[in-house]
Amino acid sequence: ITSKLQNTPPSSPFWSLEFFPPKTSQGSSNLLSRIARMSSDLRPSWLNVTWGAGGTTEGKSLSLAGSCVHGAWEGETINGEPLTEWQGGLDVCLHLTCTNVEKQSLDQTLRTARKLNIRNILALRGDPPRGEEYWIASDSQFQLATDLVRYIRQEHGDFFCVGVAAYPEGHCDSIERDVARDVQHLKLKQEAGAQFIITQLFYDVDVFVQWYKQCREAGITIPILPGIMPIQNYQSFRRMTNLCKATVPEEVLLALEPIRFDDAAVKDYGVQLAIRIIARLYLETDIRGFHLCTLNLEKSVRRVLQGLGWVRDEQPTRSFEEGLGKGPVAK
Ligand code: FAD
């Protein structure tokens, strides 16, 4: 990822797409076809594959990530077209948590990732098991994400490009959501060897921009990719924002209230909101990279990128010039 970022022209926008491993093999095969199509059309710079809490999806996450790297769909066709373009595979960032797994299993995962040529890891602490507020780390060596960053560097040198997570509104664990302290902790992750940052989802751009400035002022220099999740459904949106305690601006709540039972209208609004958030960040900051959470769905993310004018739209409704007041950007 870092070499890719170094080779990206400074004004060009770029984006990553996040997927989670499906439960069934039929689900996996459907997802791989979707990923092939989305990668070919939407041209993400890389794909992220999540890690189930406590390593519960270990095999599935590794298998999905490995398939993406190696282009497991080689020879497959979509709408009768052979998928030649992506036969070489894609760059993948595998999420990995450290506090709720045994060290042996961490070592095994990192060895397998190396074998599969997965070159990027998002090093995470992980959450307590469902229903429990606190946990005791399985191995005292791994209490924080920083410990995993340091460990990967120590054991694997520069083989992996290592990213970490960040929380523009403070992590839920922080006492009174002390954002300034969280920023200092984030800086420690950079000092331990992290090379890029992906943030928690958020819907209040003012809060994000303020936090972003705080990070830069604190000496955090590595790329920061805002986590963007287009709203798909009212209930899940409220559940998700409650869970990660993301502020929902009043105007968003007011806009959603009359359409909350109309899923299609909520999705439309979610797409327009995501476009507005990205456009504001593009215009008001130097951020050029965006992390799009797909929830394994295709349409919303496609419409967001089309709406920004960053990927081709078969029936263009809004160009990049109209959207952001800048010239078209070649990927
Ligand atoms: P840490 O960076 O270790 O931070 C946890 C808490 O400790 C924070 O309050 C922080 O301020 C504090 N802290 C950090 N460093 C220090 C320090 N040096 N001294 C004292 N306190 C410190 N979870 C999964 O299970 N699977 C996933 O795939 C996954 N993907 C994610 C992707 C993104 C982009 C994000 C934002 C989160 C993701 N998570 C995932 C959730 C994550 O595991 C939880 O949010 C977890 O509670 C914290 O992980 P962390 O890596 O941010 O922890």
Residue from 139, 228, 156, 224 nearest 189 by CA = 224
Q: What is the pLDDT of residues 100-112, one digit of tens each?
A: 778 898 999 999 9
Paired with 289 in beta bridges are 14
| Residue 322 neighbours by CB distance under 10 Å | 11
- Which atom from ligand 1 is nearest to the alpha carbon of 127? 47
Residue 249 and residue 219 in contact, taking contact as beta carbons nearer than 8 Å: no
Q: What is the pLDDT of residue 90?
A: 86
- The average pLDDT across 312-327 equals 47
126 lines ligand 1 (CB under 6 A): yes
144 lines ligand 1 (CB under 6 A): yes
Task: Quote the pTM value.
Answer: 0.91
204 lines ligand 1 (CB under 6 A): no
Q: Element (H or E) spanning 22, and its range?
A: none
Q: What is the pLDDT of residues 261-313, one digit of tens each?
A: 999 999 999 999 999 999 999 999 999 999 999 999 999 999 999 999 999 87
Ligand 1: distance of its center to the CA of 126 in Å? 6
**Residue appearing with tokens 């010039």:** 321
Q: What is the pLDDT of residue 149?
A: 98
**Strand positions, DSSP E, the chain:** 14-19, 46-49, 77-78, 81-82, 92-97, 120-124, 161-166, 196-201, 224-228, 289-293
**Strand positions, DSSP E, 29-80:** 46-49, 77-78
- Which atom from ligand 1 is nearest to the alpha carbon of 126? 43
Task: Tell me phi and psi for residue 166, to 5 degrees.
Answer: -145, 160
Residue 47 and residue 90 in contact, taking contact as beta carbons nearer than 8 Å: yes
Atom 25 (ligand 1) nearest CA: 53
